[in-house]
Structure 1
Amino acid sequence: MARSVLCVDTADRIDDVATAVEDDESLTARTATSVEAARETLEAEPIVCVVTGYDLPDGTGLEVVGAIRETAPQTPCVLFTDVPPAEIDTASFEESIVEYLNRDLPDAHDRLGFIANDVIDYSAQASFIRPDDEDERLETLAQYDVDALPIEESFERLTDLIASHFDAAVSFIGLIEEDEENFLACHGGDLDTLTREDTICTHSMLQEDVMVVEDILQDARFAENEQLQNLGIRSYAGANMTASNGQVIGQVCLLDHEPRGYDAEEQAELEDFADTAMEILELRQTVRDAERTEVAQ
């Protein structure tokens, strides 16, 4: 599958940019000639990289970078322009993966496709969003002695019930550790662990409410995720497992092999199941702590 790159530039330059991008057979170009048109495309299509000029009819390339942050913050951007870096507010790049390429360089057009692929690969391999209080979250997770707790059978029964209730292909309970998600129980799939880069729960845990992705192939954040494609996942819904101190340590999720949405009532029910999973974990840990205290005495 070709990687979709959004090319943004003025009307007299856009064809030249799109041609340079499509010289790389692994890339396909979508085009926009204004900041507003770029916003509309980013909202409507799964885009894995943006190549943008600086001077646009209704703004600058920095506004395109801002639009990327709003829709898919991890999507990389190549600023392809003859405006020198000294005249660009590079502080605006801090929250996005942005590469600068001077279009006046002799080999700039030949290098554009290579650079786009490079930043796409870097984005996929090296970056995922972490909560601001990640250290505290991991400390909270470490308080649960999961390997020693008798929770496997309870969680397996719970995931069976969840899948049946929602008529979903897959349901799972996963704890989100430093670099991976550890699946404690999974109905309908053979999931053990996934890296944080590959799991949708890395994004879902940042939302207070249930996160629903009706069609993964139409979501720029996940459309190019080969791990999800290999698992045949097309839709997702995830609810937070939240500890008593407010830290999110895991997720209770639904997966399906076809596009699917969940209404407000279904989302509330999934949150209830996530609360139940957390209550089971808390109860088992409390019993475990009490047993240790008895032995110590």
Structure 2
Amino acid sequence: MSSYTVLLVEDSEFITEHVSETLATEHGFDVKTVGSAAETRAMLEEEIIDCVISSYELPDETGIELASSINDDAGSMPIPFVLFTANPLEPLSEKALEAGVSAFVRKNTQASGQMNVFANRVRLAIEAAR
């Protein structure tokens, strides 16, 4: 299995630790972490990232706003973007898709248990973009 580098954007230390450790140890991802949209943009300038996984609620903007801005900056090759949220998906889905969100994962079902579905969605989003 090839190792993909993902950037987890999450301001909760507990969720960041759990998700990044699980994605790395159980699913073979190389996981970088940041806590804000501003830190995400800085990281994307420094590192090659295969996929951004972002919480919807960030301290400085929403995950949808972040997806829109980084995909506008990416030019012809948008970065796969997985929105990781506890919010209901239906009201967010149209704007999220327009912003370039590739997939959605509910926090309340994935953050505390097995993350096979989560990891698979991330992997599929990366592979679909290639």
TM-score (norm 2): 0.81
Match of 1:75 among 65, 79, 95: 79
Aligned sequence identity (%): 24
Structure 1 runs (4+) greater than 3 angstroms displaced: none
Size of the aligned set, in residue pairs, is 123
Q: How far, CA to CA, are the matches of 1:81 and 1:32 in structure 2?
A: 16
Match of 2:27 among 16, 24, 27: 24
Q: How far, CA to CA, are the matches of 2:126 and 2:67 in structure 1?
A: 15
Deviation at 1:20, TM superposition (A): 2.9
CA contact under 8 A between 1:97 and 1:123: conserved in structure 2? no
- 1:134-156 Cα shifts (integer Å, max 9, x gaps): xxxxxxxxxxxxxxxxxxxxxxx
- 1:32-85 Cα shifts (integer Å, max 9, x gaps): 101100111112111110111111111111122023213325211111111111
C-alpha spacing 1:101/1:36, structure 2 compared with 1 (3 Å): same
Deviation at 1:28, TM superposition (A): 0.5
Aligned to 1:100: 104
Q: How far, CA to CA, are the matches of 1:83 and 1:100 in structure 2?
A: 11
Q: How far, CA to CA, are the matches of 1:19 and 1:3 in structure 2?
A: 14
- Pair 1:4 & 2:5 matched: yes
CA contact under 8 A between 2:5 and 2:31: conserved in structure 1? yes
Larger radius of gyration: 1
Q: Is the partner of 1:2 in helix, strand or coil? A: coil
Q: How far, CA to CA, are the matches of 1:40 and 1:117 in structure 2?
A: 23
Q: How far, CA to CA, are the matches of 1:16 and 1:118 in structure 2?
A: 21
Alignment of 1:34-45 (within 5 A): 34-45=36-47
Amino acid at match of 1:19: E
Aligned to 1:266: none
Q: Is the partner of 2:32 in helix, strand or coil? A: strand
Q: Is the partner of 1:43 in helix, strand or coil? A: helix
CA contact under 8 A between 2:67 and 2:99: conserved in structure 1? no
CA contact under 8 A between 2:80 and 2:125: conserved in structure 1? yes
Higher helix share: 2
Relative contact order: is structure 1 or structure 2 higher (C-alpha 8 Å, sep ≥ 6)? 2
Deviation at 1:89, TM superposition (A): 5.6
Q: What are the ranges of 5 or more consecutive residues in structure 2 without an aligned counterpart?
A: none
Amino acid at match of 2:100: S
C-alpha spacing 1:10/1:87, structure 2 compared with 1 (3 Å): farther
Deviation at 1:108, TM superposition (A): 5.9
Higher strand share: 1
CA contact under 8 A between 1:53 and 1:79: conserved in structure 2? yes
- 1:214-272 Cα shifts (integer Å, max 9, x gaps): xxxxxxxxxxxxxxxxxxxxxxxxxxxxxxxxxxxxxxxxxxxxxxxxxxxxxxxxxxx
CA contact under 8 A between 1:34 and 1:57: conserved in structure 2? yes
Alignment of 1:137-216 (within 5 A): none
